[in-house]
Amino acid sequence: MTVMESAPVKARKNCAGRSGHPRPTGQDRYSISEVVAHTGLTAHTLRWYERIGLMPHVDRTHTGQRRFTNRDLDWLDLVGKLRLTGMPVADMVRYAELVREGEHTFAEREELLTTHRENVRERIAELQSTLEVLDFKIDVYADARRASERFDPV
Amino acid sequence: MTVMESAPVKARKNCAGRSGHPRPTGQDRYSISEVVAHTGLTAHTLRWYERIGLMPHVDRTHTGQRRFTNRDLDWLDLVGKLRLTGMPVADMVRYAELVREGEHTFAEREELLTTHRENVRERIAELQSTLEVLDFKIDVYADARRASERFDPV
DNA sequence: TATTGAGTTGGAGTGCACTCCAAGCAAGCG
DNA sequence: CGCTTGCTTGGAGTGCACTCCAACTCAATA
């Protein structure tokens, strides 16, 4: 059994960054399995990200194996953050394209991120308003439980 | 062209509750299209919810058409809230089952909601930490823009 | 030298949450 | 009566984001 192709969705949802896997110092060429260990993504997903243009052209060894740089890891950290906030992959690909196109796309990148930030803020407000409903419901059940314990003690 | 089967995903994401469609007073039997107007869900989705057991048995006319009650609308509001917070449909179906089973499931319902509340709190924290990254990135681009405007004024 | 293990590819498959389709029925209107 | 509108059904299709498969190469070890 190989060690890669692991990392179920649930796990990734929690870590999705540097989590007990600090970046080895003084190194700048990581194999795919090292990146898997670092990011919590699967090797499949990393290859898929590259295929769809979400990676800034990953370097290869003379035998064709991928070698990721610290810059790639930084990029994957950002992508992970954007993913966590629910940015669609298509939008992240668009952002990656802008990065590849150079500095004259700064304004558009800023706009893309600003729009997304607004979405995230709305999402937070939404979640917070739902927390109130949840609190209320939970209180109702807790009250009922306490009442039944009073009449019908263990 | 019929007016139903509308409500694109984006729109639902935003409203998903009473949004300019207050519940008609003194009424307690709503057709599916009225519920569509009220909830922002599509008729497809309402029927699908019923099929998978996410609705508490909807009443019918003598010709078999659905008639939703205010209680159903309340339930759909709650479901909408839970959906917005990312609760999987399977979990909501489980909750619906517990509700159908009666008051002896209060404890389990409370537990289900409490667990979910914890997830929502984590999600909010996650989003907030990402907001910081977003703010930082946006600042970088804004600084670059201001600098270029200084050297290269319009 | 043979085997093992980590890596490669294109393309197919999966799971979720809808989303739509075709065919049909009932009521109201001209 | 015929047409339109609103609704019904089971089952098939869609889009997203992966996720996996089969067949292969290469490098290192037993």
Write the CATH number for A59: 1.10.1660.10
Helix (H, G, I), strand (E, B) or coil at B65: coil
- Chains A and B form CB pairs within 8 A to the count of 89
Does one domain contain both B72 and B125? Answer: no
Choose among A82, A26, A30: nearest CA to A54.
Answer: A82
Please say if the pLDDT value at position B154 is more than 70: no
Q: Is B72 among the domain residues?
A: yes
Tell me the per-residue pLDDT of B57-69, one tens digit each, with 9 for 90 and over: 899 999 989 999 9
Tell me the per-residue pLDDT of B124-140, one tens digit each, with 9 for 90 and over: 999 999 999 999 999 99
How high does pLDDT run on average in chain B?
84
Does one domain contain both B8 and B69? Answer: yes
Distance from CA of B55 to the nearest CA of A (A): 18
Distance A88 CA to D17 C1' (A): 9
What letter would DSSP give residue A86? T
Q: Is A51 among the domain residues?
A: yes
Q: What pLDDT shows up at residue A154?
A: 61
What single-letter amino acid sits at B62?
A: H
Please name the residues in contact with B71: beta carbons below 8 A apart, sequence gap of 6 or more. Answer: B56
Q: Is A131 among the domain residues?
A: yes
Tell me the per-residue pLDDT of A77-118, one tens digit each, with 9 for 90 and over: 999 999 999 999 999 999 999 999 999 999 999 999 999 999
Does one domain contain both B63 and B112? Answer: no
**CB distance from B84 to chain A under 8 Å?**
yes
Does one domain contain both A8 and A48? Answer: yes
Helix (H, G, I), strand (E, B) or coil at A2: coil
Does one domain contain both A76 and A108? Answer: no
Lowest mean pLDDT among A45-59, B18-32, B47-61, B89-103: B18-32
Which 90-119 residues of chain B touch chain A by CB within 8 A?
103, 106-107, 109-110, 113-114, 116-117
Q: Is A139 among the domain residues?
A: yes
Lowest mean pLDDT among A17-26, A29-38, B8-17, B111-120: B8-17
Considering A37, A55, A85, which residue would you say is the last residue of a domain? A85
Verify if strand C has an atom below 7 Å from the CB of A3: yes
Rounded to 5 degrees, φ, ψ at A66 are: -70, 140
CA–CA gap between residue B18 and residue A82 (Å, rounded): 30
Considering B39, B57, B85, which residue would you say is the last residue of a domain? B85
Does one domain contain both A77 and A115? Answer: no
What single-letter amino acid sits at B137?
A: K
Note every long-range contact of A23-30, with CB atoms under 8 Å and residues 24 or more positions apart, other chains counting.
A23/A70, A23/A73, A27/A70, A28/A69, A28/A70, A29/A59, A29/A67, A29/A68, A29/A69, A30/A67, A30/A68, A30/A69, A30/A72, A30/A73
With contacts defined as CB-CB under 8 Å, which chain B residues touch A109? 141
CA–CA gap between residue B33 and residue B11 (Å, rounded): 17
Q: Is A95 among the domain residues?
A: no
Does one domain contain both A12 and A50? Answer: yes
Complete DSSP assignment for B90-118: HHHHHHHHHHHH-GGGHHHHHHHHHHHHH
Q: Is B63 among the domain residues?
A: yes
Determine contact, residues B120/A127, Cβ cutoff 8 Å: yes
Considering A58, A85, A112, which residue would you say is the last residue of a domain? A85
Proportion of chain A in helix, strand, coil states, percent, rounded to 5: 65, 5, 30
Lowest mean pLDDT among B3-7, B98-102, B142-146: B3-7
With contacts defined as CB-CB under 8 Å, which chain A residues touch B137? 78, 113
Number of Cβ within a 10 Å radius of residue A126:
17
More confident residue, B22 or A116: A116
What single-letter amino acid sits at A29?
A: R
Alpha-carbon dihedral sign for residues A13, A19, A24, A26: positive
Across all strands, nucleotide nearest A41 (CA–C1'): D18
Does one domain contain both B126 and B153? Answer: yes
Q: Which two tokens stand for residue B81?
A: 């809230």
Q: Which two tokens stand for residue A110?
A: 């800023």
Distance from CA of A1 to the nearest CA of B (A): 31
Q: Is A97 among the domain residues?
A: no
- How far is Cα of residue A131 from the mean position of the Cα atoms in its chain? 23
Does one domain contain both A61 and A128? Answer: no
What is the domain range of residue B153? Answer: 102-154
Does one domain contain both B1 and B69? Answer: yes
Does one domain contain both B77 and B112? Answer: no
Give me the number of domains chain A comprises.
Answer: 2
Note every long-range contact of A38-44, with CB atoms under 8 Å and residues 24 or more positions apart, other chains counting.
A38/A73, A39/A73, A39/A76, A39/A77, A39/A80, A40/A7, A40/A11, A40/A12, A40/A15, A40/A16, A41/A7, A41/A12, A41/A76, A41/A80, A42/A4, A42/A5, A42/A6, A42/A7, A43/A4, A43/A5, A44/A5
Distance A81 CA to C10 C1' (A): 29
Q: Is A39 among the domain residues?
A: yes
Please say if the pLDDT value at position B97 is more than 80: yes
